[in-house]
């Protein structure tokens, strides 16, 4: 019982420390920003459309 309480405390400390570091910006790696990415499937005319998956015949394309 005591070991479970210690693991719970340790987990709470680790998760809380990671959350605090993320909120304060202490993390070393910054997320990579990708430019010129379409916001939706409709803005990308060459994208795969899920509309064609239920058809019994084959469509051309990618």
What is the dihedral sign for C-alpha 22, 26, 27, 33?
A: positive
What percent of the chain stands above pLDDT 90?
31
Amino acid 13: pLDDT? 98
| Nearest partner of 47 among 27, 31, 61, judged by Cα | 61
pTM of the model: 0.45
Cα–chain-centroid distance for residue 55? 31
CB contact at 8 A, 10 and 2: no
**First vs last C-alpha separation in the chain:** 58
Amino acid 27: pLDDT? 72
Amino acid 1: pLDDT? 86
Q: What is the pLDDT of residues 32-60, one digit of tens each?
A: 777 877 677 666 666 665 555 555 566 55
Amino acid 60: pLDDT? 56
């Amino acid at each position: 019982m005591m070991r479970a309480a210690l693991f719970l405390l340790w987990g709470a400390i680790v998760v809380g420390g990671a959350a605090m570091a993320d909120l304060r910006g202490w993390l070393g790696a910054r997320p990579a920003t990708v430019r010129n990415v379409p916001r939706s499937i409709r803005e990308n005319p060459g994208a795969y459309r899920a509309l064609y998956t239920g058809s019994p015949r084959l469509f051309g394309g990618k």
